[in-house]
Structure 1
Amino acid sequence: MTDQQGDRPNPVTQHARPDFPSQDQPHPGWTGPMDPPPDHGEESYRGSGRLDGRKAVITGGDSGIGRAVAIAFAREGADVLFTYLADEEEDARETSRLVEDAGRKAVAVSCDIRDEANCRSLIDRAVSEFGHIDVLVNNAAYQMSQPEGIEAISTEQFDRVMRTNLYGMFWLTKFALPHIPAGGCVINSTSVQAYKPSPHLLDYAMTKGAIVTFTQGLAQMVAERGIRVNAVAPGPVWTPLIPSTMPDTSEFGKQSPLGRPAQPAELAPAYVYLASPQAGFITAEILNATGGTPLP
């Protein structure tokens, strides 16, 4: 594993490249069976106190980008409350261990954010644990590839995508804002799909475009409160969502100019930067991390 913060690695060969072994998991997917295993920065991320004393809420923090962000935030000095689905208990325990090993408080909450009452309860729990919220990371998402086109997207699937990716983000932000002081921020996970939608991910791509609009509009709404709102737009990232929602993962990420998917650890520094005081004049922005795919 390469020390991303110390060496000067070649980004083309820094991490595993496709073709990957054939693999398939039921949703929501788990970290353990993945081949190659995702890198969340367990061995490579070193903090420097950029988030000392902060209190963060991260949705979908059990694995993938969410776990990488939780590790990075903790090693930068933040306490972390994160959500996971009931089937992801094992992954959630590992994220908690990694946060606590960094000397920070970890609060793991099983929560389906498709339900408004769950979102309200989650924010109430965060305020009870921390007193306030400095950083809200809306990261949890759902997708399901449908290569056969729009006709294959059921109303049930469409509703799940919308409620997970949009409703949950909207409710959590609405309930969290009264508890975010000046100097705090919201960071949303959008995607390259917002700008370059893949036909087989039509409904998912729709939500990622909406997240860009939500980010830019909300940022203007709350700027006078001293609260910043930004988003990160990843390209392909090697997480459990991929083998659990896509029919063929063998060439996943090959289409990016770097010829491979990102590892979650490569996304975490973007979230750290946007959460840190160094980004104090950055709001209503989308930080693109696409592996070289040009975006508007």
Structure 2
Amino acid sequence: MDFNINTKGQTQNQQPGRETKMDPEPVVIRDSYRGSGKLDGKVALITGGDSGIGRAVAVHFAREGADVAIVYLEETQDAKDTQAMVEAEGKKCLLLKGDIRQESFCKQAVEKTVKELGGLNILVNNAAEQHPKDDIRDISTEQLEGTFATNVFPMFHFVQAALAHLQEGDAIINTTSVTAYRGSEGLLDYSSTKGAIVTFTRSLSGNLAEKGIRVNAVAPGPIWTPLIPSTFDADHVKKFGKDVPLKRPGQPCEVAPAYVFLASEDASYFTGQVLHPNGGSVLNT
């Protein structure tokens, strides 16, 4: 399948972005992807599950047999579209609208997932925001605190709430980024949060090892998601992803199988690790 695309320098004037406004729309799942029951009977909760990587993970999980709850901020149409995709796979999809910066909502989302879907086996901490600034002096306290409040703090709150339900063999998967390893001069606060997520993943994996709960992460490179046109100017979007060895941005469907692997028994000997679907950037991690 040819994933070379023309991003057309498109932009969106709001964040979170909308997948329904993207042209071309991201590829969610390959037609050739065949589920094999890797997640039969499992329940997954995915933050930022309405679009982008989160949507692709939700649909892949469903094709592998899992019911899914997706958390989103306000992108109702995107969330409903994702729900329809999951249900087309014959699985349940619970929509949870709210602000993950509120600890109470994180707890409520976990409890509602357990109540409505019958349990919780896989927690995917995926939601994030980013706001480019070329000069560190232009990063306001409000932006700095807001980026951490979205990208890092909810991971603690969701895990704290989920641990009452996760059992031996269950999994936590966090979304970090290539920027955690190579840095990003224009995304100082965002890349800092992604570095924190790597450390969080490694530390939590040790903390939960005796319980048999595996904790891993995925560090995507340039992936074609709504975050891109809603973050960058037209020139940046037009060139997006051309600087990696494969010379193109990745599609969400090229990232989601990494989450399937980490959520399944195939990754039973993986914990504290990070997978790197990034188009060929060698990070020596």
TM-score by length of 2: 0.96
- For residue 244 of structure 1, report the CA deviation from its aligned partner: 0.5
| CA distances 1:67-98 after superposition (whole Å, capped 9, x unpaired) | 00000000000000011112x00000000001
Amino acid at match of 2:50: D
Q: Report the Cα offset of residue 132 of structure 1.
A: 2.1
- C-alpha distance in structure 1 between counterparts of 2:101 and 2:241, whole Å: 29
Indicate which of 80, 87, 93 corresponds to 2:80.
93
Q: CA deviation at 1:44?
A: 4.2
The equivalent residue for 1:294 is 282
Distance 2:183 2:98 in 1: 28
Give the whole-Å Cα distance in 1 for the aligned partners of 2:118 and 2:87.
Answer: 19
The DSSP-based 3-state class of the residue aligned with 1:178 is coil
SS of equivalent to 2:183: coil
Partner of 1:230: 216
User: Structure 2 stretches of 5 or more lacking a match?
Assistant: none
Give the Cα–Cα distance (whole angstroms) in 1 for the partners of residues 61 and 263 of structure 2.
9
Deviation string, structure 1 residues 194-242 (Cα, Å, up to 9, x no partner)? 0111111110000000000000010011111010000001101100000
Counterpart in the other structure of 2:241: 253
1:272 alignment partner in structure 2: 260
Match of 1:102? 89
1:100-139 equivalence runs, <5 A: 100-139=87-126
Secondary structure in 2 aligned to 1:210?
helix
Letter aligned with residue 94 of structure 1: D
Q: Is 1:40 aligned with 2:28?
A: yes
Aligned counterparts, 1:154-233, within 5 A: 154-233=140-219
Counterpart of 2:136 (choices 126, 130, 150) is 150
Q: Partners in 2 of 1:129 and 1:160 — Cα distance?
A: 31
8 Å Cα contact 2:72-2:97 kept in structure 1: yes
Q: Secondary structure at the match of 1:244?
A: coil
Q: Identity of aligned pairs, percent?
A: 52
1:57 equivalent among 22, 42, 45: 45
**Structure-2 separation of matches of 1:103 and 1:17:** 30
Letter in 2 for 1:210: A
SS of equivalent to 1:83: strand
* Structure 1: stretches of 5+ with no match in the other structure: 3-13
Distance 2:62 2:176 in 1: 23
Compare 166-175 and 124-133 and name the one that shifted more: 124-133
Give 2:178's aligned amino acid: V
Give how far 1:124 is off.
1.1
**1:242 aligns to what?**
228
Q: Number of matched residues?
A: 281
How much has 1:126 moved relative to structure 2?
A: 1.2
**In structure 1, how many angstroms separate the alpha carbons of the residues matched to 2:5 and 2:80?**
28
CA distance in 2, matches of 1:172, 1:32: 28
Matched residues in 2 for 1:49 and 1:112: separation?
32
Instruction: Decide which of 107, 115, 127 is 1:140's aligned counterpart.
Output: 127
Partner of 2:59: 71
What secondary structure is seen at the aligned counterpart in 2 of 1:265? helix
Distance 2:183 2:156 in 1: 22
